[in-house]
Amino acid sequence: MARAKGKRRRLHTRGRSVDPAARDSLNELLGDAPLRHDLLIEYLHCIQKRYRHLSRTHLAALAEKLRIPMAEVYEVASFYAHFHIDSKDPSLPVVRVCTSLPCMLAGADSLLGRMRGQLGGQARVLSGSCMGRCDCAPVVAVDDHYLGNTSAQTVGAALAEGEEESLPDAIRYPAYVADGGYGLLQRCLKGEHSLSTVLSDLEVSGLRGLGGAGFPTARKWQAVSGAPSPRYVAVNADEGEPGTFKDRLYLAEDPHRVLEGALIAAWAVGAEKVFIYLRDEYPELHRLLAEELPSLLDAGLAPSGGIELRRGAGAYICGEESAMLESIEGKRGLPRHRPPFVAERGLFGRPTLVHNVETLYWLREILEGGAEHFATRGLNGASGLRAWSVSGRVREPGVKQAPAGISARQLIDDYAGGMAEGHRLRAFLPGGASGGILPARLADLPLDFGSLNEYGCFVGSGALIVLSDQDDLAAVVRNLMDFFTHESCGQCTPCRVGTEKASELLAAPLKNEALLTELAGVMTDASICGLGQAAPNPVRSLYRFFRDELK
């Protein structure tokens, strides 16, 4: 009897035995695909697409095939929100309702309740984090089909059709080349542009990393180009900050401008390979890029190691550069301790240049149109243009290309059509969920790197979420803290426990200001990465500017 129990435990708990049928189906599914540990997440996507979930038998078969522990496969699969392990009814499609702040303002909570009530038995209805379509709030995803401003009837029709989201009407390779595209890259490859000249132009332009950190681009290129080879370039297209959706627009409209920027960056630092990490919430962009990348290889424009397109799986933390690299390596997206920095030891332990989509988008304009001209297009001493993701209580939400250093009031009035009907400006988030909250009286401040530091806020990725006199700011902060609680990777105690405790304290009838303040300090000082360090910003803003909301 003891031996029988032991055998059963080894099969079901430790997963050492592999179901022959699962092994055969996995071999048929993967075919001649290369067996590499760093492609683990790609294999998981492949399995889930075929079977609509990840069974433990397939996970065990995959572990055997890759010659890695079952525990490692399971911990990676269970880390990412979009993987469904051992679903009770995998035949049911998955409907996700975004409940991040812009969608909450548009009634996502009640929409989620209606979906669960009306689609019961037809689908698995789940709440989801920001889907990068804040201008269409509230947003619902039906498998790989995203809908905005929708109803249960519309979702039901989408379920019946079972169609994927259509490809965007982008500028394709032939049209891009016909308009002079890749000419700049060709001139760089032929030696007509020197690296020193390009670096000088970037310094004059004032271009910084536009994913949120704002590190000067020229300095980043210098650091990586001076490191030992082989070197890599990683494109961070995993924008997951609630209120941020600018990268989606650039990739959907003009993908080759971004790709040319990535290849120029690879030339500049002598990178052997380029990796593009695209968030899973953009399936239509994944298909678009998969169609367009072969053109670059055929034209001989890619570096010697080529270009690899990698897909995320629903983890906000992978927008942090070192967590993204971990995910590309087929691991959980856990941020790394620093030093060493990724410019020294990044992807696969090699020096890596990481850029977000918007930074790469501007390279061609700077190097062809003139660095000084680009720099002088900013306002209030800021350099250049930026893409601002504007959402919330405005008439015309969307991506607004406007000068760096513009004020929130100018963005709202001159670019977003003013406040929505019946709403007055009460407050705004200048940098998405983590950038803090400012009152309307500060809406004339310039939005630029460092300009809001004295108010405990920052512009980050340029996500302006507008709040009105009809919004409950305490509820807004609770929504933001719940987001951070859900998206914490759990690696460090200050963030993992701190976000959860802060959510509990904010939900309590009586707010413990002393404890919340102490907790915020610990999270900021001791968390490994920016998620835990910035998560308390909305709480601090609430106590600093909106105490009346806590009464």
CB neighbours of 434 closer than 8 A, spacing ≥ 6?
A: 241, 460, 484, 530, 531, 534, 535, 537
Tally Cβ neighbours within 10 Å of residue 25: 18
Residue 379 and residue 367: Cα distance in Å, rounded?
21
Q: What pLDDT, on a 0 to 100 scale, did the predictor assign at position 17?
A: 86
Residue 224 and residue 216: Cα distance in Å, rounded?
13
CATH number for the segment(s) 94-161? 3.40.30.10
CB neighbours of 485 closer than 8 A, spacing ≥ 6?
A: 499, 500, 502, 503
CATH code matching the domain that covers 173-368, chosen among 3.40.50.300, 3.40.50.11540, 3.10.20.90, 3.30.450.40: 3.40.50.11540
pLDDT digits (tens, 9 = 90+) for 355-409: 999 999 999 999 999 999 999 999 999 999 999 999 999 999 999 999 999 999 9
Contact 434, 477 (CB under 8 A): no
CATH number for the segment(s) 391-550? 3.10.20.600
Say yes or no: do domains 173-368 and 391-550 share a fold: no
Residue 456 and residue 258: Cα distance in Å, rounded?
32
Q: pTM of whole model > 0.85? A: yes
**Domain ranges across the chain:** 2-79, 94-161, 173-368, 391-550
From the centroid of its chain, how far is CA 346? Answer: 19
Q: What pLDDT, on a 0 to 100 scale, did the predictor assign at position 5?
A: 43
The dihedral sign for the CA sequence 261, 265, 271, 276: negative
Contact 311, 235 (CB under 8 A): no
Contact 268, 220 (CB under 8 A): no
- Residue ranges of the chain with per-residue pLDDT less than 50: 1-13, 15
pLDDT digits (tens, 9 = 90+) for 313-353: 999 999 999 999 999 999 999 999 999 999 999 999 999 99
